[in-house]
Structure 1
Amino acid sequence: MRLTVLGSATPYPTAENPCSGYLVEGGGVRVWVDAGTGTLGALQRQARLDEVDAVWVSHLHADHCADLLTAYYGLLYADVRLAAPVPLFGPPGVADRLAGFLTNGPVRSPVERAFAVTELVDGHRVELGGLTLGSGTVEHGMPAFALRVEEAGRSLVYSGDSAPCAALSRFAAGCDLLLCEADSARPPAEGERAVHHTPEEAGETAHAAGAGRLVVTHVSRFVDPEDAVVRAAGRFEGPVAYAAPGTVFDV
């Protein structure tokens, strides 16, 4: 199983780094995980749209799903020839959210011609080729999910966007690689609600889960990625890396 970082910027892309997006390959299939702004271009360095077997989206903030809009046009109105709509696994309401943006007249845009939509629920599991995709709810102040991908005894867990929570630590238990967001530069002030991890908290989540290694992603613009790695490593005894765009991790 292989993880390729398409982008990891938050909350908008830089000139060199798209927003959140990853390509997971294994078991004879390719899964585009999160479709943040700019990731469709980076995806095409790895695979054409008609070579993607499924799309999985953690939540409906634009920096994780905006390129579904451009993918829709690519799938239906360009040089891609679909044998069938691409399976799309996403939070409740994902199809109507897309249609709300794409529809420009009295007739609803045919989102379902491009995507075969399955709405995620806690505990959702699906077999794709030799991969098993499991989804679990996490805490982000809106419907949001983490992803667990398993193949032949190996496992990759992606936090999506989430505050530190017991649900994520349990969901990631024993994984070989934890891809964990670190979008907070500091812990929340008194009275504030946490919706993201700090780098230290990413390390703590990896430790609590017993992960084999940690990759920090979605790092705050107020934190240098190298500093984020150092801060996370102070709370986790295993290897720690940063999800720089274009980086490939074998699981």
Structure 2
Amino acid sequence: MRVLFCGVGEAFDDAQPNTCLLVEAFSDGARREVLLDCGFTAPYSYWRHGPSLDAAPDGPDIVWLSHFHGDHFLGFPALAARLTQSGRTRDLHVAGRQGVGMAVCRALDLAYPNLRENLGFALKFDECLPGEPLEMSGLSFSGAFTTHPEPCLALRLEDEAASLYYSGDGAPSAECLALAWGTGLLVQEAYSIAPGSPGHGSVEETVQLARMASPGALALVHLERRLRADSLPEVMAALDGAGYLPEPGHIHDVRP
């Protein structure tokens, strides 16, 4: 399993694209591509950096949407339109919490009223319920709600050899700890250094999560834009060597 960090920024960051990951996974030796979240600015970074992971020209096999805030899913209409332009014909699976199909269809219709009827491929919506793993393309998707006010599903994604945890938004819940346990890579939203930002995680909480979950590696994303721009020494001090801050275009090899 390999992970390309297409974007690492928060909703309104003018220097960093919205947080978005492209995962290269394998099932019975077959390569799969999974895009994790697709916010306002994410598609452009996905298109820019995707070739470095040999991304398929006609897009990923699966798109996972952690929740329905704009910086995590409102880039999907642009993605879908360009996939049609690229000549995609194979089905595209879109997965997330209950209501994912309704949310995506509303976004598509608002962005481009005639797009859905003119897509060159079918959208297949798959709802993931907390505590009930979902199997798609030979991969396992398991979800747990974070503390975010807009219900957000953290994800444990497993292929034939490795696993990762992706938080979406929100500090981890007890269920998230169980989900993150022993993964090869833990990717956590850390908006602030210390706890206290409503609905968001922090560096300190992330370090604590990593110490309990014992992942192979820890990556922090979605830092508040001024914090990332002006206070990196303080962030790194709080991180205390437990993990790192990826940049757009960085590729992480996930170990079993």
Check the 8 A contact 2:171/2:189 in 1, yes or no.
no
Question: In the alignment, residue 24 of structure 1 is paired with which amino acid?
Answer: V
Question: In the alignment, residue 4 of structure 1 is paired with which amino acid?
Answer: L
Q: Which protein is richer in helix relative to its size?
A: 2
Question: In the alignment, residue 176 of structure 2 is paired with which amino acid?
Answer: L
Check the 8 A contact 1:156/1:178 in 2, yes or no.
yes
Percent of residue pairs identical = 29
Check the 8 A contact 1:140/1:162 in 2, yes or no.
yes
Check the 8 A contact 2:207/2:239 in 1, yes or no.
yes
1:141 Cα offset (Å): 1.5
1:128 Cα offset (Å): 4.2
Partner of 1:231: 238
1:13 Cα offset (Å): 4.1
Question: In the alignment, residue 163 of structure 1 is paired with which amino acid?
Answer: A
Question: In the alignment, residue 243 of structure 1 is paired with which amino acid?
Answer: P
Runs of 4+ in 1 over 4 A off after TM superposition: 111-114
Q: How many residues align?
A: 239
Partner of 1:213: 217
1:223 Cα offset (Å): 1.6
1:114 Cα offset (Å): 4.5
Question: In the alignment, residue 202 of structure 1 is paired with which amino acid?
Answer: T
Question: In the alignment, residue 142 of structure 2 is paired with which amino acid?
Answer: G
The one of 76, 80, 87 equivalent to 1:80 is: 87
- Consecutive unaligned residues in structure 2, runs of 5 or more: none
Check the 8 A contact 1:75/1:114 in 2, yes or no.
no
Question: In the alignment, residue 10 of structure 1 is paired with which amino acid?
Answer: E
Aligned ranges 1:64-213 → 2 under 5 Å: 64-76=72-84, 78-83=85-90, 85-103=91-109, 110=116, 114-129=122-137, 131-188=139-196, 194-213=198-217
Partner of 1:23: 22
Question: In the alignment, residue 210 of structure 1 is paired with which amino acid?
Answer: S
- Provide TM-score, normalisation by structure 1: 0.84
Question: In the alignment, residue 216 of structure 1 is paired with which amino acid?
Answer: L
- Alpha-carbon distance between aligned partners in 2 of 1:38 and 1:25, rounded to the nearest angstrom: 21
Check the 8 A contact 2:41/2:71 in 1, yes or no.
no
Partner of 1:249: 252
Check the 8 A contact 1:137/1:144 in 2, yes or no.
yes
1:108 Cα offset (Å): 8.3
- Alpha-carbon distance between aligned partners in 2 of 1:176 and 1:103, rounded to the nearest angstrom: 38
Question: In the alignment, residue 35 of structure 2 is paired with which amino acid?
Answer: W
Question: In the alignment, residue 94 of structure 2 is paired with which amino acid?
Answer: L
- Alpha-carbon distance between aligned partners in 2 of 1:221 and 1:174, rounded to the nearest angstrom: 30
Alignment CA distance shift 1:80-1:12 (3 Å): farther
1:218 Cα offset (Å): 0.7
Structure 1 residues 191-218: Cα deviation after superposition (integer angstroms, max 9, x where no partner): xx84111111110111121223211111
